[in-house]
Amino acid sequence: EAMDLSKLELLVGGQCRGAVMAASVNGNTTYGAFATNTDGLDTVTTWKLPRLGLTQAQVAARGLALCLTLAPPCAALSDFCLGGGACRHAFLNSAESCCPTGDSLFTSP
């Protein structure tokens, strides 16, 4: 079954709210938002990048290049993403019925 890509979510440090100064996906400027949720005793902060609108064929052909410009106190990806050198992520389709998660190693230019 084909899966489009509607939204990307990254698990980030709570102190990083507002640290994203600019973002682009495959060279196109985009805007994300932070959300903080409490699950029992744990507070979790995510940075959500909605409205990607990419088909499976587009992702297969070009991949997904996410570029972030970050500011203190989370100017480095290792500070921004929980997990050190990797970012815990979730990909969601437009129906939000499919949500592969994993850890991606991100690199600095």
Q: What's the pTM? A: 0.82
Question: Measured between alpha carbons, how far is 48 from 29 in angstroms, rounded to an integer?
Answer: 15
Please check whether residue 2 lies inside any domain of the structure: no
Please check whether residue 23 lies inside any domain of the structure: yes
Please check whether residue 91 lies inside any domain of the structure: yes
What is the reported pLDDT for 62?
Answer: 82
Question: Measured between alpha carbons, how far is 50 from 90 in angstroms, rounded to an integer?
Answer: 12
Please check whether residue 108 lies inside any domain of the structure: no
Domain count, the chain: 1
Q: 38: Cβ–Cβ under 8 A, 6 or more apart, which residues?
A: 44
Give the tens place of pLDDT for each residue, 32-76.
999 998 877 888 899 999 989 888 888 888 888 889 999 999 998
- Domain range for 50 is 7-102
Q: Percent of the chain at pLDDT above 70?
A: 92
Please check whether residue 59 lies inside any domain of the structure: yes
